[in-house]
Structure 1
Amino acid sequence: MKVGIYGSSFNPITNGHLWTANTVADRQKLAKVIFLPSSSKRMDKSITTQDFHRLEMLKLAIAGNEKFEYSDYEMKANVGTYYTYYTMEYFKKLYPSAEVFFIMGADLLKEIPDWKYSEELIKNNRFIVMERNDINMYRVIAGSVLLRRYEQQFILMGKGIVNEISSSYIREEFEFGGDPRYLLPEAVYQYIRENQVYTI
């Protein structure tokens, strides 16, 4: 069995996130994709939206897809333990008979050599990397001695179509009275409006 761990702030989750997860699951034959919203307590992120709202929106977005699950592991983890290295160790223990992959965009491929425990993380895990914008994934790997050393750990995927939907753009539209309705699931759109999640 193959399991994909898809980490992001999901603030909010968009149709782009769902398309990415579905495409990866289909092409890489994953049995399930676990959506992993990051904790607002992370020092490397600036998340002002309450964890509760982001998790509720995520639940609404993935409802009805039997391959999609969610985990609040990082939201509940102690400060200092929600590095991706610890996250992957947790899920490998949770699914000991599965092949577990970390799903990420090419923008994170550029950053991963600077992550905490980066070499241990890369050496001991497999990654599915989705093309983003104009980032040349092969050039990124070639330009990093750490990535070159463990190049076999990365599965690089071209999207085939451009599907960039920015969560920050959606937040800005809501905050300033715009209507980004068709960039995110209808249930999430309605939840945001009813709960005034991004109203200034």
Structure 2
Amino acid sequence: MARIGIYGSSFDPVTNVHLWTASTIAHRCKLDRIIFLPCSNRRKDKRMKTEDHHRWEMLQLAIQGNDKFVADDYEMKQEAWNVYTYYTMNYFKSMYPNDEVFFIMGADLLVDIASGKWGYEEPLVTENRFIVMARDGVDMLKTISSSPLLRNADDGNHFHLVDKGLAMEISSSYIRDEFGKGGEPRYLLPEACYEYIKKHNLYR
């Protein structure tokens, strides 16, 4: 039985923090595989800055050489009405029926689930397991204890809370802004992705 983490994000672009986070989570939570899941540009709650094929190509460049890292374009292929994390987790659990599948997310998204912003929150929480990464300004234990849904699902098995230990929060939006204003974010993302962005004149 393998332990698999589903790591969803826009990856617009993928950053060194994404990779470091995935590596840290894999190590601490004893995961055999991390599946990087770029979100669809059809989602109503997100506005992508880059076409899907560019985000996909950069992600492939970023994870090459690491046998634990794979990418999956499942959500990229979905229509907007079908892009819910609940459906996504059902898909991956059907793909890996004999394995343990976890959804990896930041503590800020835990707050969103508690606030009812995701859709299908109750079956999502009660039927799945989560690895939750600390975020500055978010009290993970308080978020769980103050939500009837989260605290009643918290049986010691649903939520694995991880404090990464370093405040590495450089975002994709920061990198996009640097490129857009003529800055130099070279060492904040994989070198191959940096060169790809320059070659295709992205984020200008």
**Counterpart amino acid of residue 176 in structure 2:** R
Per-residue deviation at 1:78? 2.4
Query: What is the percentage of aligned positions where both structures have the same residue?
Result: 58
Unaligned runs of 5+ in 1: none
- Residue by residue, what CA displacement relative to the aligned partner does 1:52-103 show, whole Å, maximum 9, x if unpaired? 1111110000000000000000001122111000000000000010000000
Q: Is the 8 A contact 2:132 2:161 kept in 1?
A: yes
Normalising by structure 1, we get a TM-score of: 0.97
Summarize the alignment of residues 164-183 of structure 1 with structure 2, pairs less than 5 Å apart: 164-183=169-188
Post-superposition offset of 1:128 = 0.1
How many Å separate the matches in 1 of 2:150 and 2:74?
27
Aligned to 1:104: 105
Mean Cα deviation higher: 129-138 or 82-91: 129-138
Return the alpha-carbon distance in structure 2 between the equivalents of residues 15 and 76 of structure 1. Answer: 25
Instruction: Identify unmatched segments of 5+ residues in structure 2.
Output: none
Number of the residue aligned with 2:162 = 157
Following superposition, the deviation at residue 134 of structure 1 comes to: 2.6
SS at match of 1:3: strand
1:127 matches 2:147: no
Paired amino acid for 1:98: D
- For residues 10-46 of structure 1, the C-alpha deviation after alignment (integer angstroms, 9 at most, x for no partner) is 1111011101100110011111000000000000111
1:107 & 1:15 partners in 2: Cα distance?
A: 20
**Partner in structure 1 of residue 139 of structure 2:** 136
Query: Is the contact between residue 12 and residue 49 of structure 2 (CA under 8 Å) also seen in structure 1?
Result: no
What are the equivalent positions in structure 2 for 1:1-200 lying under 5 Å apart? 1-113=2-114, 114=116, 115-152=118-155, 153-199=158-204
Aligned-residue offset at 1:163: 1.0
Q: Deviations over 1:140-184 (max 9, x none)?
A: 111211111112311100111111111101000001110101111
CA RMSD of aligned residues (A): 0.8
Residue correspondences, number: 199
SS in 1 for 2:135: coil
Query: TM-score, normalised on structure 2?
Result: 0.96
Paired AA for residue 78 in structure 1: E
- Which sits farther off after the overlay, 147-156 or 168-177? 147-156
Question: Counterpart amino acid of 2:122?
Answer: E
Give, in whole Å, the separation in 2 of the partners of 1:58 and 1:155: 26
